[in-house]
Homo-oligomer: A and B are copies of this chain.
Amino acid sequence: MVKVVATNFVQEEKRSEFLELVEELIELTKVKDEGCIKYELYEDSENTNLFTFIEEWESRKCLDKHLASKHFKTIVPLLHGFLAKEGTLNIYKRVL
């Protein structure tokens, strides 16, 4: 199993557009992508407009297929247009 944590600092005036597109990405991912255990979006309780994906994939191979999928490659560049600054993406394996 691999876990993904991806932060997104969204422009204040683009919040609703960002959220609508993320909803679409989540739906398509759940329908189309094999090995997706969880694909959730969280909002930071202190830093306004910081939205973070927390995902769980059966394997790195499944995650890589998702990253190469048509819906990911179409939607994610559009999401980047709504960001105020660059975020981070970490891929984790469980230790404890």
Contact = CB atoms under 8 A, between A and B. Distances in A.
Interface residues of A, number: 27
Interface in A46-79: 46-47, 50-52, 54, 60
A37 interface: no
Nearest to A5: B5
Given A47-B90, A91-B45, A54 B96 contact: no
A46 to B, nearest CB: 7
Contacts of A2: 45
A95 B19 contact: yes
A46 B91 contact: yes
A93 B26 CA distance: 17
A96 B44 contact: no
Interface of A: 2-3, 5, 19, 22-23, 26, 40-47, 50-52, 54, 60, 90-96
